[in-house]
């Protein structure tokens, strides 16, 4: 309400000032005209009636000079008021233009302070997006609040070309964030960053997007004491933590050695023993196979985990 009433009061004040200047200008113009007319008539009357009287000539000259000075002063006042009136009209037009610009910007989904990395936003069905692009990692089906994916357009050129869609992507039209198909949503994207996120443990989690040098690393901050390895405490400030730091205050990745009976590190050591104790036999079996398939004394070996 403040942003709407303030421009209205400003516009009303400017209109009132313009009206006052118009009245003043009209009054001065009438005064100039009447003074000039009265001076002309009086000078003509003096010439006709007292042409041969010496004093009448002086009186005429004095009246003429006085009328000239008064006329010049009135003309100066008229010119000054005219300049002030023009200035007020310019200010009124600028204020009107600013009001229209502010009204248009108020409907933008992102302000100009973010236009280096956020100029529009759209939704795409998660399952359709996964079918359209081969992301290379397993994706769960979109359900339970994960039906749609979110796309943020860093530049105006990346926004879809359809004018109606582009307007809905860039401006709040009252219909929420538009839902697009993968082809339309990405048709003008020359590059696309993909971030997979969730909310493990249903914590009060948020994501910050910061315009800066491009980084492909995601930082994680939590309200914990990293020295004492405490659980989440809302009274503590946010601290940078490792990716494996859990909300309960324990890390999911144990650094060897570990004395825990069920330590995953010790289980991994047991699995490695199987290979280390039989490495000579394994290499003997692999050598003839590798000699057959090697090209330029090189072999490419690919490993996978969970289908990746």
| pLDDT tens string 13-64 | 556 666 676 676 676 666 666 666 555 555 544 444 444 444 544 455 445 5
Residue 59, domain extent: 2-106
- Number of domains composing the chain: 3
Q: 185-193 — which CB contacts under 8 Å span 24+ positions?
A: 185/122, 185/124, 185/151, 185/160, 186/151, 187/160, 187/161, 188/157, 188/158, 188/159, 188/160, 188/161, 189/153, 189/158, 190/158
Boundary of a domain, candidates 106, 124, 149: 106
Mean per-residue pLDDT for 83-87?
83
Judge whether 215 lies within some domain. no
- Reported pTM: 0.53
- The tokens describing 80, both together, are 């000054």
| pLDDT attached to residue 138 | 82
Give the pLDDT confidence of 170-220 residue by residue, as tens digits: 999 999 999 999 999 999 999 999 999 988 778 899 999 999 998 888 999
Q: Do 164 and 185 fall within a single domain?
A: yes
Boundary of a domain, candidates 181, 197, 213: 197
Please give the C-alpha separations between residue 8 and each of 49, 91, 99, 138, in angstroms, as whole numbers. 62, 14, 9, 56
Boundary of a domain, candidates 177, 197, 217: 197
- pLDDT of residue 68 exceeding 70: no
């Amino acid at each position: 309400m403040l942003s709407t009433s303030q421009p209205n009061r400003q516009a009303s004040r400017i209109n009132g000032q313009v009206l006052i200047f118009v009245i003043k200008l009209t009054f001065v113009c009438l005064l100039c005209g009447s003074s000039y007319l009265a001076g002309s008539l009086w000078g003509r009357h003096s010439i006709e009636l007292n042409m041969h009287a010496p004093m009448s000539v002086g009186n005429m000259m004095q009246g003429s000079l006085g009328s000239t000075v008064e006329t010049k002063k009135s003309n100066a006042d008229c010119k000054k008021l005219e300049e002030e009136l023009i200035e007020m009209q310019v200010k009124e037009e600028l204020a009107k233009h600013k009001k229209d610009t502010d009204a248009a910007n108020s409907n933008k989904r992102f302000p100009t302070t973010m236009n280096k990395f956020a100029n529009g936003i759209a939704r795409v069905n998660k399952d359709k997006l996964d079918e359209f692009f081969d992301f290379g990692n397993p994706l769960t089906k979109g359900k339970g609040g994960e039906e749609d994916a979110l796309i943020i357009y860093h530049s105006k050129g990346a926004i879809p070309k359809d004018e109606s869609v582009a307007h809905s992507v860039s401006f709040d039209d009252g219909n929420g964030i538009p839902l697009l198909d993968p082809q339309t949503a990405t048709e003008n994207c020359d590059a696309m960053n993909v971030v997979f996120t969730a909310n493990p443990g249903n914590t009060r989690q948020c994501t910050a997007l910061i315009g800066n040098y491009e980084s492909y690393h995601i930082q994680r901050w939590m309200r914990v004491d990293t020295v004492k390895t405490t659980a989440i405490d809302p009274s503590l400030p946010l601290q940078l933590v490792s990716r494996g730091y859990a909300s309960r205050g324990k890390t999911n990745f144990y650094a060897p050695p570990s004395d825990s009976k069920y330590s995953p590190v010790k289980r991994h050591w047991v699995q490695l023993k199987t290979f280390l104790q039989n490495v000579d036999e394994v290499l003997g079996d692999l050598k003839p196979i590798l000699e057959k398939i090697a090209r330029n004394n090189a072999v490419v070996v690919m490993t996978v985990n969970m289908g990746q």
